[in-house]
Amino acid sequence: MAVGLEQRNRQQLAEQQARTAQQDEEKQELERLEEGQEVSAQQAELLQPQIGNAALANLLARAGGQSAGAASSHEEEVAEEIVESQDEEELQELEGEGPQYGGGGGGAGGAGGPNDPWDLGRLFGGDDEGGGAEGGGAAQPRLRASPIRELSDPFDEDPLPDEEEDSPYEPHHQQIDALLPAVAPLPSSPRRGDARFLTPELDLLDARAIAGLPLSPEELAHGDAALAPLARPLELARFLAAHGLSPTTRALARGIAGGASFFLLPSTGSSGAAARLATMVLAALAQEAESASQGDAPDELALATDRAARLALVREAWPLAVQTARELASTRRLRAPFIADAALAGRLDTSEQRPEPTMPPDSLGGRALASLLPVSPLLFIPPLASSPPPPLPEDDETAAIDALLAEWTGGADPRELPPDPVLEAEALEPALAAASDLVNAMGRAQVELAAGAIAAREVNPRAAVRQVLIHGDRALRLLARDAVQAGDALAELRGAPLLAAEALAAPRLRVLRQSVQGLEVLRTWAFGELATAAVGVRSVAAEPDSPPLAPLLGAALRQREGGDRVRGRQGLRAVALSTPPPDGPLPGLLAAFAALEAGDGPDAALLIDGALRLDRAGPLELAAASMRACLALGADLRVEAAAAVDRLEALARRRHTPLALADAAILRSELRLRQEGLEASVDGLVGQILEHGRAGEQAAMELLKARLTEQRAAHDEAAFDPAMERAIAAREGEAQATTAVQTAQRRSSPR
């Protein structure tokens, strides 16, 4: 063994010496290269670290041009020179290490901190040659794909371990799936009515994720992934409450987000709570669309509203963009197209749909995109700070002694004029620090644009974002170049005569202030374009931001908030019973939310009845009907609950709202359980499951399956399973009878 090891060592040493000799020979050949000599691929690989990408490309271009024909060679050389000149002009704009004029990288909002990828030294770099100690090599001039990254769910910040196998509901899920027959859905057809809003259904497509969730508002506030069926509607309600265009939508969403605990009815389980919250948030979305169209929303507007709401939920876009930028910062390629392409795993160059007209900045999509990003720091370019005057002596004797000492020690003669003041470094520090913050904000804007593009592609995979990023990146780098040059010019004024320095500093400060304005305009334009690309259609203008409260309602709410609950209650009742029809059901709904917060359930029920007396079929009535049925069932008022559920089901069918139908079915099953027993409750759920399954309404079907699972877990399995089998057999018998009647009718009809 020792002999074999020694032989291998001698062989490896000989191979290493041979490679060294070959490399020395190749280097000698490179030293003998002359202009016009042809370069091979191996020689080019050895030349690259020494002369850089640009020079190597020129050398290869010249070599290839000499080997070609005369006519084609001239054309190729002209084209290559044009491309190279364009690349060099673009890449040499900001080729330095970034501004070094002081002020640090600090700033409001954490801009330019040591952990931020947009710190000053990393902002500028493009497709220039490597050579830097940090780069370690030459950067390629085109976008490169990186490992695939999937956007994580907004509620995956603290993912829970997978406990599906140990879940106590899993055996019940399996039994429900085994008992229910396979349902063949109808051919896919265009959605209509409220079914066009898909965002509330995103987390309701699996019964296993819905059943058995805790109904604690404190746990829902954490936003865990396992609670997404209940937490996502609240997240969407908070977004609409803060950013909805319609005052009616904001008021309704604020009530939903603040009064969610009143809709978590324990007797209907987490499936009922999920159906109820989704129904009410869907009503808010529909109200937003119908408020903009002053009536039934067209399909394009409904799609735009739904996509804008979905855009507001892509909260992972900003952290992903920052993480990707941090990885690219070491290569000095902090540019929006590269960040977005790396985060999207090279999918930025995929086919894009035709760009739509630009959406106004105050559209719902623009507000959704802005809500995903942290608050931008406030940028202000201050004037030059005035130097403090020298301290005055306390008395004349001290002044005389100071003058005498100055003359004896070689200082200025007190009889001579004092020297001209100069611009001190302390006077420049505020302006230079603001310039540093401005350049850092431009680097941060690159990451913001990339985050907007990531979110847009998550909502609309064909969103036209690439050109927006390219133009935004180019404009940001031009603005940054002007800001850097102005900052360098300011830094050079240290020690200059004060009057001359102030005159020279004025145009530099003006450039910096114009750069601040340009950055704001660019961000507004880019976010509007990205929101348009995500939503896919142009949004209409927002409603006037006027208070929707009637005078009587406002007075009643102020009395209640002031502690006069008796007079406040009387005022709320007056509002509910005397609101004129033009005001609609909104005042009564708002008063009902206020009554619920005060613990006055009977007053809330009375106010909701007043809101529903107009017999309309709008989104507000849908939300009010769901609230009324929940309150009646929670108070065990069975007659009122039955009437409220009938009203909710009728409104849901008129508006074609599958989620509201599922909500009504769950409430009715609980009511039947109390009045008629388990078999009647199960029979109603089975019938609705088969109906929604045949219609292809998966979210409604999964909600009802989750409710069946919760009922099986709460009751005796020996009684539940036979009841479910009988319900299924009855439905199959009805289906066979219907088929037989239809067949007989076809046979008897004349041909």
SS (H, E, C) 381-443: CCCCCCCCCCCCCCCHHHHHHHHHHHHHCCCCCCCCCCCCCECCHHHHHHHHHHHHHHHHHHH
For the residues 64-80, what does the mean pLDDT come to? 43
Residue 514's H or E segment, with its range, is helix 498-535
Check residues 54 and 576 and name the one with the higher pLDDT: 576
Closest to 372 (Cα-Cα) out of 299, 432, 453 = 453
- CA 36, CA 34: separation in Å to the nearest integer? 6
- CA 389, CA 156: separation in Å to the nearest integer? 59
pLDDT at 693: 86
Bridge partners of 497, per DSSP, are 422
pLDDT at 111: 44
Residue 78, pLDDT above cutoff 50: no
- CA 736, CA 724: separation in Å to the nearest integer? 18
Check residues 70 and 405 and name the one with the higher pLDDT: 405
Identify the DSSP state of 635: T
Q: What is the 3-state secondary structure (H, E, C) of 289-349?
A: HHHHHCCCCCHHHHHHHHHHHHHCCCCCHHHHHHHHHHHHHCCCCCCHHHHHHHHCCCHHH
Q: Which of 80-84, 366-370, 467-471, 510-514 is the least confident region?
A: 80-84
Instruction: Find the helix packing angle between 269-293 and 247-258, rounded to 10°.
Output: 170
User: Quick check: 52 and 130 in contact, CB under 8 A?
Assistant: yes
pLDDT at 685: 93
Q: Which of 31-40, 241-250, 262-271, 646-655 is the least confident region?
A: 31-40
pLDDT at 349: 65
Most confident of 288-292, 325-329, 444-448, 610-614: 444-448
- CA 265, CA 271: separation in Å to the nearest integer? 10
Sign of CA dihedral 132, 133, 137, 140: negative
- CA 539, CA 609: separation in Å to the nearest integer? 34
Q: Which of 22-31, 311-320, 496-505 is the least confident region?
A: 22-31
Phi and psi at 65, nearest 5°, equal: -65, -35
Identity of the amino acid at 592? A
For the residues 364-385, what does the mean pLDDT come to? 87
pLDDT at 58: 47
Most confident of 24-28, 212-216, 503-507, 562-566: 503-507
> Where does residue 385 fall: left (phi above 0), alpha (psi -120 to 50 degrees), or beta otherwise?
beta
Give, in order, the Cα–Cα distances in Å from 637 to each of 156, 564, 630.
40, 29, 10
pLDDT digits (tens, 9 = 90+) for 24-52: 666 556 555 554 455 555 555 554 444 44
Residue 234, pLDDT above cutoff 80: yes
Residues 6+ away with beta carbon under 8 Å from 220: 227, 230, 231, 234, 260
Check residues 97 and 174 and name the one with the higher pLDDT: 174
Closest to 631 (Cα-Cα) out of 265, 255, 257 = 265
Identify the DSSP state of 180: S
Three-class DSSP category at 497: strand
Closest to 524 (Cα-Cα) out of 677, 392, 656, 367 = 367
Bridge partners of 299, per DSSP, are none
Task: Tell me which residue has tokens 């079914």.
Answer: 195
Check residues 358 and 394 and name the one with the higher pLDDT: 394
* Residue 372: burial class (beta carbons within 10 Å; 0-12, 13-18, 19+): buried
- CA 167, CA 222: separation in Å to the nearest integer? 21
Identify the DSSP state of 562: T
Check residues 265 and 130 and name the one with the higher pLDDT: 265
Task: Tell me which residue has tokens 């690159």.
Answer: 446
Check residues 140 and 747 and name the one with the higher pLDDT: 747
Check residues 219 and 538 and name the one with the higher pLDDT: 219
| Confidence band, pLDDT 50/70/90 cuts, at residue 425 | confident
Three-class DSSP category at 607: helix
Residue 76's H or E segment, with its range, is helix 70-91
Most confident of 191-200, 215-224, 354-363: 191-200
Q: What is the 3-state secondary structure (H, E, C) of 366-379?
A: HHHHHHCCCCCCCC
Closest to 262 (Cα-Cα) out of 234, 294, 225 = 234
Identity of the amino acid at 405? L
In this prediction the pTM is: 0.72
Task: Tell me which residue has tokens 């051919």.
Answer: 187
Identity of the amino acid at 268? T
- CA 241, CA 255: separation in Å to the nearest integer? 8
| Confidence band, pLDDT 50/70/90 cuts, at residue 246 | confident
* Residue 9: burial class (beta carbons within 10 Å; 0-12, 13-18, 19+): exposed
pLDDT at 365: 86
Maximum CA extent, the chain: 132
For the residues 216-244, what does the mean pLDDT come to? 83
Residue 488's H or E segment, with its range, is helix 466-491
pLDDT digits (tens, 9 = 90+) for 118-164: 665 444 444 433 333 333 343 333 333 334 344 444 444 444 444 44
pLDDT at 556: 65
| Confidence band, pLDDT 50/70/90 cuts, at residue 192 | confident
In the structure encoding, which two tokens stand for residue 704, read together?
A: 């009802």
State what percent of residues in the chain have pLDDT above 70: 62
DSSP code string of 708-728: HHHHHHHS-HHHHHHHHHHHH
Q: How far apart are the first and last CA of the chain?
A: 97
Round the average pLDDT of the chain to a whole number and report it: 75
pLDDT at 740: 58
Sign of CA dihedral 332, 333, 339, 342: negative
Task: Tell me which residue has tokens 């330019």.
Answer: 112
- CA 243, CA 236: separation in Å to the nearest integer? 10
Residue 393, pLDDT above cutoff 60: yes
For the residues 516-540, what does the mean pLDDT come to? 83
Give, in order, the Cα–Cα distances in Å from 275 to each of 227, 655, 659, 673, 721.
14, 16, 6, 19, 24
pLDDT digits (tens, 9 = 90+) for 462-480: 888 888 999 999 999 999 9
Bridge partners of 422, per DSSP, are 497
pLDDT at 387: 64
Q: What is the 3-state secondary structure (H, E, C) of 183-207?
A: CCCCCCCCCCHHHHCCHHHCCCCCH
State what percent of residues in the chain have pLDDT above 90: 30
- CA 183, CA 11: separation in Å to the nearest integer? 72
Q: Which of 53-62, 296-305, 311-320, 355-364 is the least confident region?
A: 53-62
pLDDT at 9: 56
In the structure encoding, which two tokens stand for residue 597, read together?
A: 């917060």
Residue 538, pLDDT above cutoff 60: no
pLDDT at 427: 86
Check residues 600 and 526 and name the one with the higher pLDDT: 526
pLDDT at 91: 40
Residue 107, pLDDT above cutoff 80: no
User: Quick check: 164 and 672 in contact, CB under 8 A?
Assistant: no
Closest to 279 (Cα-Cα) out of 290, 271, 267 = 271
Question: Would you mind telling me the total number of residues written for the chain in this entry?
Answer: 751
